[in-house]
């Protein structure tokens, strides 16, 4: 679906590579005057489409640089408009001179994310694919890269298009009863034929929402809390896992008062390990606050490592927890010793297995952002409302289905949600 862009008369440019001293820099132009501006700089009558051309760039009778020019005519370009890329030398002086020349030619400096925004508004990608592109640019681990590539490739789009098609099939059945209620050849309660479609859509959205936490965890990072009684070896274990002394260790109970966090990569996923205060009843106000924060951290964490000392801990266990007993002892039933590091490699391998099973694998990219989840929840609520109204009032069912479709359109970026676009694309780097 192509949206009429607000910028159709403006031509923009920006540095698309990182600023600073470099061998090569890429300056991107997009808009109706992109080709003419590039020809003016290069003194060329025309640029061949999709062929690299080596030309001297000149302005005000002065040679600025020698660069490769690539011209991509719209609509078959990244933005859907005429696009030119100038591959010049990456010095500050060259970039500033080319930018000044482009401003003199009437081009505008691009805002953050404006190239990608134009691609969305011109129908070259949907909003979820644009968000996948941003996640790919920001990816710091292989797991994040894989998920971002799947989303940028349209996996989430395929998912919500399946929901959309199911809703449209249901709507066709309901509208048939509304429009042809008096026709003899239209069976009674035709809208009941919509039930299987609504049931399938509701089931599919419910399943996607159940997996949403995994997608968000891959994108933002997996939180692992180390909790247990005082002197159970939590800080020592943290130091062993990360391979350096980041937390203070002592035989004195209650040494850790606040949360100590360390970032690392496990199984290709970004992980934040958190050392927490020992869990016990205390009359010390500061230590009590540390215990409160530890319990809150444990509640919000994706995984928890629970350390027992003398078989006791104040921490309840749940599915996915790793329970280690007597970790300060010599070698216990879990075959780990936090003081010597014996068994820590096995613990890391256990964490890798859990993370791969729960957060990675071949599962397609799903609802990776709070925005995705909110839209999906509204679509599910409207679909379930349609199910409840089925057989009572076809008009209400029809409106429920249209409400669900509007939520899906917002997920895709098809609806007029200017403030959402502004918020999302402002997070992009300039030049993308």
4 carries a ligand binding annotation? no
Tell which phi-psi region holds residue 261, choosing left (phi > 0), alpha (psi between -120 and 50) or beta.
beta
CB 301 within 8 A of CB 274: yes
User: What whole-number distance in Å separates Cα of residue 309 and Cα of residue 298?
Assistant: 18
256 carries a ligand binding annotation: yes
Residue ranges with strand state E in 126-268: 222-228, 260-266
Q: Is 432 annotated as belonging to a binding site?
A: yes
Q: Does the annotation list 166 as a binding residue?
A: no
Tell me if 77 is assigned to a ligand binding site. no
* 381 within 8 A of 389, measured Cβ to Cβ: no
Identify which of 140, 108, 427, 151 has the alpha carbon closest to the alpha carbon of residue 268.
140
The rounded Cα 364 to chain-centroid distance in angstroms is 13
**CA dihedral defined by 352, 353, 359, 364, rounded to 10 degrees?**
120
Residue 250, marked binder? yes
124 is an annotated ligand-binding site residue: yes
The answer to whether 277 is annotated as binding is yes
Measured at the CA of 418, the angle between CA 416 and CA 420, to 5 degrees, comes to: 105
Q: Any known ligand binding at 28? A: yes
Contact in structure between 102 and 29 (CB atoms under 8 Å): yes
Structure tokens at 375: 């839209």
Tokens of 141: 């681990």
Partnered with residue 28 across adjacent β-strands are: 14, 85
From the number of C-beta atoms within 10 Å of its C-beta (0-12, 13-18, 19+), residue 46 rates as: exposed
Please indicate if the annotation marks 143 as binding a ligand.
no
Q: At what angle do helices 127-138 and 114-121 cross, to 10 degrees?
A: 160
Q: Is 325 annotated as a binding residue?
A: no
Residue 420: CB partners within 8 Å, gap ≥ 6? Answer: 371, 410, 413
Ligand-binding annotation for 236, yes or no, is yes
Is 251 part of any known ligand binding site?
yes
Report the binding-site residues for (6S)-5-formyl-5,6,7,8-tetrahydrofolate: 28, 85, 124, 432
Report the binding-site residues: 28, 85, 124, 231-236, 250-256, 275-278, 432
Report the binding-site residues for Mg(2+): 235, 256
Report the binding-site residues for GTP: 231-236, 250-256, 275-278
């Amino acid at each position: 679906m192509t949206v009429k862009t607000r910028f159709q008369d403006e031509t923009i440019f920006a540095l698309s590579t990182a600023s600073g001293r470099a061998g090569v820099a890429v300056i991107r132009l997009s808009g109706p005057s992109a080709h003419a501006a590039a020809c003016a700089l290069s003194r060329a009558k025309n640029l061949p489409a999709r062929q690299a051309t080596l030309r001297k760039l000149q302005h005000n009778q002065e040679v600025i640089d020698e660069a490769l020019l690539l011209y991509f005519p719209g609509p078959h370009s990244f933005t859907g408009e005429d696009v030119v890329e100038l591959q010049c030398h990456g010095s500050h002086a060259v970039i500033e001179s080319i930018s000044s020349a482009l401003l003199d030619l009437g081009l505008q400096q691009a805002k953050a994310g404006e190239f990608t925004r134009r691609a969305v508004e011109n129908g070259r990608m949907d909003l979820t694919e644009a968000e996948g592109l941003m996640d790919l640019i920001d990816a710091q681990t292989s797991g994040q890269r894989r998920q971002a590539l799947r989303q940028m490739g349209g996996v989430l789009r395929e998912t919500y298009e399946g929901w959309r098609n199911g809703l449209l099939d249901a709507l066709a059945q309901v509208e048939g009863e509304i429009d042809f209620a008096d026709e003899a050849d239209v069976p009674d309660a035709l809208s009941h034929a919509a039930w299987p479609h609504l049931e399938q859509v509701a089931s599919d959205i419910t399943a996607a929402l159940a997996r949403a936490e995994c997608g968000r965890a891959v994108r933002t990072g997996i939180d692992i809390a180390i909790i247990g009684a005082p002197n159970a070896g939590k800080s020592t274990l943290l130091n062993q896992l990360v391979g350096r002394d980041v937390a203070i260790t002592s035989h004195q109970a209650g040494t850790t008062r606040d949360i100590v966090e360390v970032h690392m990569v496990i199984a290709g996923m970004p992980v934040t390990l958190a050392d927490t205060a020992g869990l016990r009843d205390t009359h010390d106000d500061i230590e009590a606050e540390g215990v409160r924060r530890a319990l809150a951290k444990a509640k919000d964490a994706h995984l928890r490592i629970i350390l027992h000392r003398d078989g006791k801990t104040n921490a309840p266990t749940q599915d996915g927890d790793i329970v280690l007993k007597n970790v300060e002892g010599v070698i216990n039933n879990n075959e780990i010793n936090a003081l010597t590091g014996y068994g820590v490699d096995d613990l890391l391998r256990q964490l890798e297995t859990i993370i791969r099973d729960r957060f990675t694998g071949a599962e397609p990219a799903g609802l990776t952002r709070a925005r995705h989840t909110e839209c999906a929840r509204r679509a599910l609520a409207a679909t379930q409302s349609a199910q409840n109204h089925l057989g009572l009032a076809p008009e209400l069912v029809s409106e429920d289905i249209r409400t669900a479709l509007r939520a899906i359109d917002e997920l895709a970026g098809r609806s007029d949600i200017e403030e959402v676009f502004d918020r999302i694309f402002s997070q992009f780097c300039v030049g993308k």
